[in-house]
Chains A and B, each alone.
Chain A
Amino acid sequence: MMKHTARTLCATATLLWALLIPATAPFQAALAQGLGKPTVTLARPKLVTQARAKQQPSTSPPPVASKQKELPPRTPFTAAEDAASTIAGIPEARFWADSESDFQRALPAPGPWLVLSSGGEDGAFGAGLLAGLTAAGNRPDYAVVTGVSTGALMAPFAFAGPRYDDALRKAYTEVSAADIFEAGSSTGESFVNSWPLKELIAKQITPELMADIAAAHRSGRRLFVVTTNLDAERSVVWNMGAIAAHGGEDAIKLFRDVLLASAAVPGAFPPVLIDVEANGKRFQEMHADGGIGGQFFVAPAALMATTSDYRLPATQLYIVVNTGLERDFKVVDRFAPSILTQAVGAAVKVDTRMMLSLSYAVAKRSGVGFNAATIPASFNAPSQGAFDPKYMGLLFRTGYEQGRGATPFSAEPPPYPSGPSRQPSHIEKTGANQ
């Protein structure tokens, strides 16, 4: 229930941004949150907040250069058609994340699994961790790699192996906010335009990388990326290796679109429309951030349930959590973006912690080794805005050192932070709590 509540809250808050806030600040907050970085320090919003207090409530925006472009209407389709839809020419491209049979059918022989979580710019941690594991000679060929949101963006490199460590490092230390989104160009579907990220993905997902992923797929390994089908309110698992193995321009376009969709924070980034067909009818599904359905993906929810006796066909389960889990105390400004940032940040942490607990239970009952890598609680580098390369570089280095160290993973989920053990002394003295 709580997990569901957290997810609902996350999605609702993100949408509220889109509805309520006529300023640029929220998109940064949404990006930071939706892509999983809950505690980013935003210099400009701080100043915006100060300035806002002086504004008259009746102040309205000035004239703008042009009316927002009207988006074409979508082709209507039914739930039944959507349930039966496939990618033309690549029927093996995907399956519903709640389909137990499709999931089990898609799995390879048992081996180590690598699970990459959401986290926005904090994906620098996971990128560094993988490079550190390589340096330590502790990087197996993962039988299964799954990615959600920023985890999806790094998953192709992680799956293709250490040869792509440098590309992964550059992806998380040599980019800035300007490479991810453009403000001031709301699309009608989102606050900002994500064309810079789309172009970045196009540069990163090269034919060479596609060929290496296809070869790994043919060898029996599996690369899964999760998006959320907003029309159906269902998570979708994309069999990225199968898409790569199909080859061709359509396949590489789909591969890139899926990555963009998996990181498309609703309200902040535009969703991605994906061409499908069902019973000879062609239409487009609307896909957005995979994090809506959970901050990382191990298996369908029904198989993960504590009431299930399903055993993961893995030898080891490695989960890389690309988002800080520690509480981030701050006196929240009386300003909608600040309130939503703090709320969504808290929800993401709760969701991630609960998923870690559930994954731990599943691994235990499966007789599978549980391994979780999380950002050290001691990491507190300042961030000068969203996707600050300096901050990301420091986090990459932190992940690298952890990956190269003796204990890159913990055998248990990180402990829950405990609250204050006693009431503030002034209450005790005054008896105000009696």
Chain B
Amino acid sequence: MRNLLRPIFAAAVTALLLMSANVSSDAVAAARPSAFDGKWSVVIYTLQGDCDRSLRYSVRIIDGRVQAEDQSYQAAGLVASNGAIRVVVAEGGRMASGSGRLIGNNGRGEWRTSTGECAGQWTAVRRAADY
């Protein structure tokens, strides 16, 4: 089951990213070191809906791909060379997507749940690898 779900999740996320992001398919295939690689701390602000007013998450970017830092949630996304980013986050069967831009060691953008129940903004800052 585990092995089955993973590729389904990955394929769905990749398709979603390609359809909706300003990130080219070349970027998907690239898988090479990105200027934005590293550990990032993302703060999510809810501006609409009955979700937590704010939460901070840790994510890691490796070769331009966004990944969860631990197993408490699932994340997948892509960062283009110009910093455009598109991410899908899943937690406990619930999914949200976000988009925006990274510039240097900072970033910001918008997010919304797949159901449209909640939406808001996010900011991000790059952190040291270990803290």
Contact = CB atoms under 8 A, between A and B. Distances in A.
A389 B45 CA distance: 12
B9 A62 contact: yes
B91 to A, nearest CB: 6
Residues of A contacting B: mostly: loop
Contacts, number: 132
A19 to B, nearest CB: 14
Interface stretch (B16-24, B58-66, B103-111): B58-66
B73 A183 contact: yes
A191 interface: yes
Interface in B55-90: 55-60, 62, 67-75
B91 A48 contact: yes
A177 B58 contact: no
Interface string A183-216: 1111000010101100000000000000000000
A184 B70 contact: yes
Nearest to B59: A184
A65 B40 CA distance: 12
Interface residues of A, number: 48
A44 to B, nearest CB: 5
B43 A43 contact: no
Interface stretch (A20-28, A96-104, A281-289): A20-28
A422 interface: no
9 contacts: A23-B92, A44-B94, A48-B92, A69-B130, A176-B54, A178-B56, A183-B55, A184-B59, A385-B53
Interface of B: 1-2, 5-6, 9-10, 41, 43, 46, 50-60, 62, 67-75, 91-94, 130-131
Given A184-B75, A385-B55, 11 more contacts: A24-B91, A44-B91, A47-B51, A55-B92, A55-B93, A63-B67, A64-B68, A65-B62, A66-B60, A177-B56, A185-B69
